[in-house]
Amino acid sequence: MLELRKYSIGVGDRFAHQAKAQLNACVQAAAQGIHVVPVWNKSFREHGIVGSEPPSVRVAADAAVAALGWSDPYHVDADHINLGNVDGFIEASDFFTIDVAAAIGQPVPDADAAAFIDRHSELKGELEPDALAAAVARYLGAVGEAGRIYRHVAARKDPAAFITEVSMDETDSPQTPPELLVILAAIADEGIPAQTIAPKFTGRFNKGVDFVGSPEGFEKEFNGDLAVIAQAVKQYPLPRNLKLSVHSGSDKFSIYEPIRRALAASGAGVHLKTAGTTWLEELIGLAEAGGDGLALAKQVYAKAYADRDALCAPYATVIDIDASKLPAPDAVNAWSAEEYVSALRHDQSNPQYNANLRQLLHVGYKVAAKLGARYTGMLDECEASIARNVTTNILDRHILRVFPKR
């Protein structure tokens, strides 16, 4: 079986220009004794918005690996796929994030639920009878859907040639550690060789900004989930390297030290999934370059501001924007490069940092996509400035804060 290494980071690249800069962060981390495997991820929705196709991610990743002489593993993730869209990803991907959040609560026959509980008497010691029945009713159908998707992929691609992740994070209610054990028992019953599991954690994981909630509460929950995984891999036929996956993991600075402590204490691995943070670093790099780059960054903001309701609607559950704190485009047009960067860069110690502007631009990549070659051409012109920011962001703000040295 293709095995995912202990530490891995999901890196999104909306416009397929930053793979080398992203990989360079992993190269520099390895030189410091932190070995992290890059996993390039791009969802069906993102491909649709920017007009790309799944094989383009493989092409960009392979080119970056060749350019930098990367000899460690790397992967290409079919991100948040389902039965309706997975086929286009099968050839190019070797990592499949099976998203079944929409199937949570899907009813299952009473006989199937009862048979699952009878088959797993060990779970009766983990949850009270009513809580166990409720967890089975809530999650058994979703795991069944994950099984159907996994078997669909496995019928078309050698099961030993890809990594499977099961994702349940895009839902309103978090899964408690005991509920996670129920989910893992069901995954084992389905014969899914899941190497990562992405639960919904307590707290808000808004796009591009810090964690909202109690870091202490998160740390307790995260350690509880690690303990559940350690128990599950002993008890069920699951891969021994099964680990947690933290989705929308970019920029969650207040929980990185708790994650790091938990990994160091337990010896567990983790998959940290980032995506839109690289697109924001592109805008920062454009602005820093000045001239036409800064002008284009300002234009992207102006259009995002004008279209903010439509841009934000699909992301309503993962952003919190106070529209009254968004600067008017006329004000932004008068900004210097330093002022634009200060507002956008995720530096909470900077009084000019604006989390509302950052979230709006995070979901506003559709604006750049509509600019087409004008935007991507400017990425080429400002490559040095952009690459520096992309690498620094992934290395200093993410990898070095999250992953312990081996």
Instruction: Give the pLDDT of residue 285.
Output: 98
Neighbours of 324 (CB within 10 A): 6
The C-alpha atoms of residue 136 and residue 33 are separated, in whole angstroms, by: 42
Which amino acid, residue 174?
P
* Contact assessment for residue 226 and residue 266, using Cβ atoms and an 8 Å cutoff: yes
Alpha helices in 155-275 (DSSP H): 177-190, 215-235, 256-266
- 3-class SS of residue 71: coil
| Burial (Cβ within 10 Å: 0-12, 13-18, ≥19) of residue 207 | buried
Which amino acid, residue 53?
E
pLDDT at 406 over 80: no
Q: Do 360 and 233 sit in the same domain of this protein?
A: no
Q: Do 18 and 123 sit in the same domain of this protein?
A: yes
**% residues pLDDT > 90 (the chain):** 97
Decide if 1 is inside a domain. Answer: no
The pTM for the full model equals 0.97
Rounded mean pLDDT, 232-245: 98
pLDDT at 168 over 90: yes
Decide if 388 is inside a domain. Answer: no
Decide if 17 is inside a domain. Answer: yes
pLDDT band with cut points at 50, 70 and 90 for residue 272: very high
DSSP secondary-structure letter at 204? Answer: B
Q: How open is the CA angle 180-273-376, to the nearest 5 degrees?
A: 150
Q: Do 165 and 293 sit in the same domain of this protein?
A: no
Classify strands 163-167 and 95-99 as parallel, antiparallel or unpaired.
parallel
Structure tokens that stand for 388 in this block: 């520096």
The C-alpha atoms of residue 300 and residue 41 are separated, in whole angstroms, by: 24
The C-alpha atoms of residue 42 and residue 19 are separated, in whole angstroms, by: 12
pLDDT band with cut points at 50, 70 and 90 for residue 92: very high
Q: Do 311 and 189 sit in the same domain of this protein?
A: no
Q: Which residue has the tokens 């286009």?
A: 88
Alpha helices in 252-315 (DSSP H): 256-266, 276-289, 291-306, 308-312
Decide if 31 is inside a domain. Answer: yes
Q: Do 125 and 252 sit in the same domain of this protein?
A: yes
Q: Do 330 and 200 sit in the same domain of this protein?
A: no
The C-alpha atoms of residue 159 and residue 298 are separated, in whole angstroms, by: 47
* Closest among 251, 252, 257 to 213, alpha carbons compared: 252
Structural domain boundaries enclosing 292: 281-383
Taking CA atoms, 39 is separated from 65, 72, 165, 201, 269, in Å, by: 12, 12, 12, 22, 15
Instruction: Give the pLDDT of residue 55.
Output: 97
Instruction: Give the pLDDT of residue 405.
Output: 87
Q: Do 333 and 269 sit in the same domain of this protein?
A: no
- 3-class SS of residue 96: strand
pLDDT at 276 over 90: no
N- to C-terminal Cα distance for the chain?
A: 23
Q: Do 169 and 260 sit in the same domain of this protein?
A: yes
* Closest among 23, 161, 10 to 92, alpha carbons compared: 161
Q: Please, what is the average pLDDT of the chain?
A: 97
Query: 121-149, pLDDT tens digit by residue?
Result: 999 999 999 999 999 999 999 999 999 99
pLDDT band with cut points at 50, 70 and 90 for residue 334: very high
The C-alpha atoms of residue 211 and residue 255 are separated, in whole angstroms, by: 7
Instruction: Give the pLDDT of residue 317.
Output: 86
- 3-class SS of residue 193: coil
pLDDT band with cut points at 50, 70 and 90 for residue 250: very high
- CATH number, residue 107: 3.20.20.70
The C-alpha atoms of residue 333 and residue 340 are separated, in whole angstroms, by: 9
Query: 351-366, pLDDT tens digit by residue?
Result: 999 999 999 999 999 9
Q: How many domains does the chain have?
A: 2
Beta strands in 71-212 (DSSP E): 75-81, 95-99, 163-167, 194-198
The C-alpha atoms of residue 160 and residue 22 are separated, in whole angstroms, by: 27
pLDDT at 47 over 90: yes
Q: Do 190 and 260 sit in the same domain of this protein?
A: yes
